[in-house]
Amino acid sequence: MKQKRIYIENYKTYRKLDLNLEVTSDRPIILIGGANGCGKTTLFDAIYSALYGLKISNKRQFEEIFNSGVKNESGIEGKTIMLEITFSGMVLGQETPYRLCRAYRFVDGRIQESNVLNMNGNSYPYGSGSTAIQRSTNEAIVNKIISANLPAELSNYFLFDAMKTSDLVKEEQINKLIMKNINSVMGFNKYTQLQNAASAYLDEKKAERLENENLRAEYLKLTKQKVEMERDVASLIDAYNQALNYANDHKLQYEQLKEGRNSDDVIRDKMHQIEENINSFYQKEKDYRQDAEAISKDLEWKVIMPKVANSISTEVELILNEKEVVASARGNILNDQQIEKVTQDVIPLLKEKYPQVGEVSIAEIIKDIKCEQDNSDDYNDKYGFLSDADVNVLRKLVQQSYSNPYLSLDERRESLNLELADIPKKQEQLEEYKRALTGHDYSIIELYEKNDRKIEELKAKIVEQKNAIKEMERKISTYDYDMPQVPDPQYDMLCKLPGFFKSLSCKLLKSKKASIERMMKEQLNINLVIYAGYIGRVELSADDSEEISFKIFHKNGNEIYLSQLNAGAKQTVMQVLLKVLYELGDYDPPVMIDTVMGVLDKESREVIINRYFPDLAHQTILLSTDTEITTETDFKKIVAYVARTYTLHRDQERQCTTVSDDYFGLQTYEF
């Protein structure tokens, strides 16, 4: 396949672009330069979409890819996005020209699609205005022609962004890539298809040879079940491959979103802390107001009574002490009965012991004792006017535990004033954090992780179903004993065909593996700078045509693990692998590389410029900035292999990209 020309109209940054892409055998490179944002990747997308079509189903999608300058000038009603690619391909050894035009027009809120493929004067149109039969027929023809030149499922390996190639260097992805190329690019699918067709035809013939109708019915039933099981396996494998593609396509986005979500989680935690601080301040302010209001209502008890107690505490203490002394002294006072009894008992004893004591009047003595007792200062209560209840009130007043709430309330007020001064800063910080949130839809994280689980489930189901098919084949093989052993050369030959095609496929696989291993080793020793000259062997191990593993070994014998290589080395490994598969494959597509140097360092760039690009393919389109393929040195090294140069220029006012026939001002004829 050779691309001859690309015409673009109203697609993204391009109002109109018409590029000649023809090359010669000694100058296979087209070098297209442009600064970032000038439309290199858009040109890449346009060529891809011209081959495989755009998916536009509504006005919004149409507006997103329609040229903004034209839209601002005259709107999109009645306007058309057109992508037209002219290319040639080999048909039965003859180079056949093709022109494929895809147009998408916006009319009355709807998208009108039109596709036309011209081949040797024959036209195959289909689109929105086609009948169902015409569309299905011509669309199938167009898709078949495109697939014959470069199948869509393999296009990503020949039309690719070098910056993203290292993402393919993952065990399952790179193994899948190699196997897909071996099966499809290298033409192995046809042998598998022949093997399956021969097996199906053999089953029919075996059924015919069974004379017993019941056995024949059972045999046909089992073979039918086997076919259904094989379809299920094929469906599971398709689903598995789709899941792997999804994982590969969204790996970087998943990791970025995961990192973004982690960052957002940290920001949200900080926001939560600030919000809690602000809410805590407002709650403390509310509590302060409630407490201040409560204190004002109990002002008498909270403030006045403590002040009164403090003022009269000394006097009250005197009263209480006096009361205690009087109470203690009065504990020794005798009442009238006690005085009379004691006197009557003591006087007779005194008279008996001291006869000289004369007659004494007991009544007078009792009277004198009472009078003396009543007149004693020890028993006189100065505060007799205070009742016991009054004394208890005074005691409680001065002995009550008091705390002045105004002191703590005032401290709270000062603290709240300090916090209040910080509230505007916290609110501003909160707004900054809100702006820092990415606002991404993190549902893809769950979808990606769900897809990972699906991959494991599908792998298990595929193994389980394959084991079930083997068991079914064992059951079917038992019917061979019931078939009549009648010589039939045609049948005997048919029995050998499935095994023959399988054996042929295995031999070709072995041969292709050896070629890939040899070429990969040679190319890696040249292009993989960090191990240049030290690659001992490349190993492709395979148990059958569906499972394969890719490994690189150092000359010292140790494995060089792909996962441990840096991004630049991974890019080199992937580009070398693609080159080898390209050279050994049955397809002959052009190679188109965006961001040509990706993440390569200076030394790796030198190798790629001098040894990789010149003989990469019969047609190589490179999309580069002047910092990737530099005008000072790199262009001079590659110019001998360049057929055409273009530079893309961005017109900011008209919002479109124009093109000049040079590489950042340099012409090929100047060198």
- Digit-coded pLDDT (tens) for 72-109: 999 999 999 999 999 998 766 678 999 999 999 999 98
Higher pLDDT, 148 or 338: 148
**Domain span holding position 305:** 236-482
Number of domains in the chain: 1
- Digit-coded pLDDT (tens) for 138-165: 999 998 888 888 777 667 666 766 666 6
Sign of CA dihedral 482, 484, 487, 492: negative
Residue 457 lies in a domain: yes
- Biggest alpha carbon distance in the chain? 176
Q: How far apart are CA 302 and CA 297, in angstroms?
A: 9
528 to each of 210, 524, 549, 601, how far by Cα in Å? Answer: 61, 5, 20, 11
Tokens for 553?
A: 């070994």
pLDDT average, residue stretch 607-627: 89
Residue 599 lies in a domain: no
- Digit-coded pLDDT (tens) for 457-481: 998 999 999 899 888 888 877 776 5
133 to each of 100, 123, 139, 140, how far by Cα in Å? Answer: 20, 16, 10, 11
Q: How far apart are CA 125 and CA 116, in angstroms?
A: 4
Q: How far apart are CA 504 and CA 193, in angstroms?
A: 13
pLDDT average, residue stretch 200-217: 70
Q: How far apart are CA 402 and CA 77, in angstroms?
A: 86
Indicate if the pLDDT at residue 545 is higher than 50. Answer: no
Percent of the chain with pLDDT over 90: 27
Residue 20 lies in a domain: no
Q: How far apart are CA 191 and CA 198, in angstroms?
A: 10
- Digit-coded pLDDT (tens) for 47-71: 999 999 998 988 989 999 999 999 9
- Digit-coded pLDDT (tens) for 104-136: 999 998 999 999 999 988 999 999 888 989 988
Check residue 102 and give its pLDDT.
Answer: 97
Three-state secondary structure call for residue 549: strand
Residue 141 lies in a domain: no
Check residue 46 and give its pLDDT.
Answer: 94
Q: How far apart are CA 651 and CA 68, in angstroms?
A: 12
Residue type, 426: K
Residue 582 and residue 178 in contact, taking contact as beta carbons nearer than 8 Å: no
Helix axes 567-584, 489-527, angle to 10 degrees: 140
Percent of the chain with pLDDT over 70: 78
Residue 505 and residue 542 in contact, taking contact as beta carbons nearer than 8 Å: no
Residue 323 lies in a domain: yes
Work out whether strand 620-624 and strand 29-34 pair parallel, antiparallel, or are unpaired: parallel
Q: Which of 13-27, 195-209, 514-528 is least confident?
A: 195-209
Residue 381 lies in a domain: yes
| DSSP, residue by residue, 71-89 | HHHH-STT-EEEEEEEEEE
Residue 332 exposed, middle or buried by CB count within 10 Å (0-12, 13-18, 19+): exposed
Residue 218 lies in a domain: no
Q: Dihedral angle at the C-alpha atoms of 501, 503, 509, 511, nearest 10 degrees?
A: -120
Indicate if the pLDDT at residue 325 is higher than 50. Answer: yes
Residue 274 lies in a domain: yes
Three-state secondary structure call for residue 17: strand
Residue type, 423: I
3-state secondary structure 284-347: HHHHHHHHHHHHHHCHHHHHHHHHHHHHHHHHHHHHHHHHHHHHHHHHHCCCHHHHHHHHHHHH
Coarse DSSP helix, strand, coil percentages of the chain, rounded to the nearest 5 percent? 60, 15, 20
Q: Dihedral angle at the C-alpha atoms of 288, 291, 293, 296, nearest 10 degrees?
A: -120
Tokens for 459?
A: 């792998």
